[in-house]
Homo-oligomer: A and B are copies of this chain.
Amino acid sequence: MKTLTVDLGDRSYPIYTGSDLISRSEFYTPHIRGGDVVIVTNETVAPLYLSQVQQALSGFNVIDVVLPDGEQWKTLDTVNRIFDHLLEARHTRTTTLVALGGGVVGDMTGFAAACYQRGVDFIQVPTTLLSQVDSSVGGKTGVNHPLGKNMIGAFHQPNCVIADISTLSTLPDNELSAGLAEVIKYGLICDGEFYQWLQDNMAGLLARQPELLTEAVIRSCENKARVVSEDEKESGRRAILNLGHTFGHAIETHQGYGKWLHGEAVATGMIMAADLSARQGWIDRNETQRLAVLLESARLPVRPPSDMSANDFLSLMRVDKKVLDGTLRLVLLHAVGDAVVTSDFSTDYLDATLAEFVD
């Protein structure tokens, strides 16, 4: 078991990573200040892991909330169901919410914790690779709106994160790949050595070798934590974490939530961002090819859906949160391991990238 501390002053918190952690009470108890706990999970995860977490929390007054599974349920209405349960059980400001599941459960539970009585404690127990490397760090919580993804939310830091690698054994192959997209992202944006390590170890990661997965989670969280510690409120450098996300959100929004996995959309978005970076002359075209090979070896898509036009992209990207005052800002690469947030790119090159990638 390894512990990584996300350094945020008086809101710092530990990430515990390793095998067989979720049933061990010692990872939860020091981070719970009242007697009441709510475990929020979904219909897929509950049969697999809920009883283990309940056992770890047997010293507390525990209720559980089992939500439907899927991004289409990441709505204000679903969060309101969490509030219903909290109020019916008369939980007060000292309650602790435990998010057991992937990013959707984590985002909604975190948002519920941010808003219940104007803020209560919560613990993340991410059970997907994506949520272990992405949602665990940064304090972003929230829900979708029919007109945009993650448009409603709050910054709210967990008391701790318990990232149990063993839970990845039940993860579907496509979700493992989607998580690897974000792992690859950390190499691309700020850790060239890790990027090389991923090229060397992709086969073992796909074979779910525990020591490799642990290393990938730890290294990803370290990278994200370093970027987030530098810029908690996403005013500047933190936005490099969105490499591939502006193109990717356009894909997700166009297809409707849940059709493409987030990581799949991000993978395609990253290759598009790399293509634009190469057109700008910032990276070598060979690097774009090398990234495509890596993404494909991780069984990730490198082309957007065939029914998307260039105008679909442009229209959907304009409502993306990275747009400041109407100017489209993108995360691009100055080199592998060195991303930058910029609006200083040629719109002709953007058009060329879109033309290259749409049918």
Contact = CB atoms under 8 A, between A and B. Distances in A.
**What copy number does this chain have within its complex?**
2
A87 B324 CA distance: 14
A227 to B, nearest CB: 17
Contacts of A324: 92-94
A321 interface: yes
Contacts of A155: 118-119
A88 to B, nearest CB: 7
A83 B151 contact: yes
Size bracket of the A interface: 35 or more
A318 interface: yes
Contacts of A151: 83, 87, 116-117
A35 B325 CA distance: 7
A298 B142 CA distance: 44
B154 A116 contact: no
Contacts of A142: 115, 118
Interface string A147-163: 11001111100000000
Given A80-B76, A87-B148, A148-B87, A325 B34 contact: yes
Contacts of A93: 321, 324
Nearest to A153: B118
Contacts of A115: 115, 142, 152-154
A114 interface: yes
Nearest to A327: B92
B88 A147 contact: yes
Contacts of A88: 147
Given A115-B152, A119-B154, 19 more contacts: A76-B80, A80-B145, A83-B152, A84-B145, A84-B147, A87-B145, A87-B147, A87-B148, A90-B318, A90-B319, A92-B325, A93-B321, A93-B324, A94-B325, A115-B115, A115-B154, A117-B151, A117-B153, A117-B321
Interface of A: 34-35, 76, 80, 83-84, 87-88, 90, 92-94, 114-119, 140, 142, 145, 147-148, 151-155, 318-319, 321, 323-326
